[in-house]
């Protein structure tokens, strides 16, 4: 599996794929929109399974791992892009833990999004100026299918959370697997490290390191649930030592990673 690069350049591409056999577990350094145009099967994103078929749309973030099992040949449109290609609001939405990852489009929605994709393909071909606007439109059509409660996530809509802390949370959501430091996170938020640590805990109710550890542990737990080894789950989730991983895992989940694997397979 490839690790995520913290310093992203602008990237946007559209590819059309046919999945004939099962596609093994993997992840990418970009966000992905997958639009199913034909066939059926199963997509597993982290530890959740989704039945997929025509007019189905899936959102995958750089920190999601996923794999596909095809029942019938699956034809799909894959739009991949990095965080610099979308607005701050849409970025916060797509990394939110409350946002849906799968959507079923109506006939009209499917038609509109496919038309927008064709326009975006043209803009990419001629290096046009409307690439970002068309991508934002496609995302808006997808997000529109969430209700207000699902969109009322702390990460972007809570006015009690200042803009700098929101940026820090988004940065951690995208980069928790990397060796990121408080200095890096504080810089992203626009604060000096000492003030950042204070304002983060005051506005979120927990320290930045607790938030970072929680993100890493949840990712590791999902990897273990999908038959990843304890060692791989540790380092692929951003922990720098097995001993630290074992202590953190047991403290948060009441059992060691090895015991979790045994209980899962019992």
Q: Express each pLDDT in 166-204 by its tens digit.
A: 889 999 998 999 999 999 999 988 999 989 999 999 988
User: Per-domain residue ranges for the chain?
Assistant: 12-151, 160-265
Measure the CA–CA gap between 34 and 52, rounded to whole angstroms: 10
Which pLDDT score is estimated for 27? 81
pLDDT score, position 92: 85
Fold classification of 160-265 is Arc Repressor Mutant, subunit A (1.10.10)
Q: What is the CATH number of domain 12-151?
A: 2.60.120.810
Long-range contacts from 224-230, C-beta under 8 angstroms, 24+ separation: 224/257, 224/260, 224/261, 224/264, 225/47, 225/264, 226/25, 226/44, 226/46, 226/47, 226/65, 230/257, 230/258, 230/261
pLDDT at 152: 45
What does the pLDDT read at residue 157?
Answer: 46
Beta bridge partners of 76: 17, 36
Give the separation between CA 89 and CA 157, rounded to whole angstroms: 9
Q: What's the predicted TM-score (pTM) here?
A: 0.81
pLDDT computed for residue 3 by the predictor: 33
Positions of the chain with pLDDT lower than 70, given as ranges: 1-9, 147-161, 265-266
What is the structure's pLDDT at 47?
78
CA-to-CA dists, residue 5 to 24, 67, 180, angstroms:
22, 21, 11
175-178 own/partner pairs: CB under 8 Å, 24+ apart: 175/4, 175/6, 176/63, 176/212, 176/215, 176/216, 176/219, 176/237, 176/238, 177/3, 177/4, 177/63, 177/216, 177/219, 177/236, 177/237, 177/238, 178/3, 178/4, 178/6, 178/238
45 in helix, strand or coil?
strand
163 sits in which H/E element: helix 163-175
């Amino acid at each position: 599996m490839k690790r995520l690069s913290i310093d992203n350049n602008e990237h946007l591409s559209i590819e059309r794929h046919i999945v004939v056999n099962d596609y093994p577990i993997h992840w990418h350094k970009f966000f992905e929109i997958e639009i199913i145009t034909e066939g059926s099967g199963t997509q597993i994103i982290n530890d959740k399974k989704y039945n997929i078929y025509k007019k189905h749309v899936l959102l995958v973030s750089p920190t999601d791992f996923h794999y596909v099992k095809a029942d019938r040949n699956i034809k799909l449109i894959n739009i991949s892009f990095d965080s610099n290609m979308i607005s701050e609001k849409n970025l916060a939405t797509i990394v939110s833990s409350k946002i849906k990852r799968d959507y079923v489009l109506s006939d009209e929605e499917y038609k509109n999004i496919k038309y927008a994709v064709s326009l975006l393909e043209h803009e990419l071909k001629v290096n046009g100026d409307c690439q970002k606007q068309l991508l934002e439109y496609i995302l808006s059509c997808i997000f529109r299918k969430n209700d207000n409660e699902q969109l009322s996530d702390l990460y972007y809509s809570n006015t009690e959370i200042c803009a700098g802390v929101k940026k820090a949370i988004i940065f951690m959501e995208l980069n928790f697997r990397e060796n990121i430091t408080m200095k890096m996170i504080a810089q992203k938020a626009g604060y000096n490290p000492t003030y950042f640590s204070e304002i983060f805990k005051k506005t979120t109710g927990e320290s930045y390191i607790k938030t970072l550890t929680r993100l890493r542990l949840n990712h590791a737990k999902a990897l273990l649930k999908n038959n990843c080894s304890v060692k791989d789950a540790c380092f692929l989730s951003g922990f720098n030592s097995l001993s630290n991983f074992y202590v953190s895992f047991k403290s948060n989940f009441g059992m060691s990673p090895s015991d979790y694997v045994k209980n899962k397979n019992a």
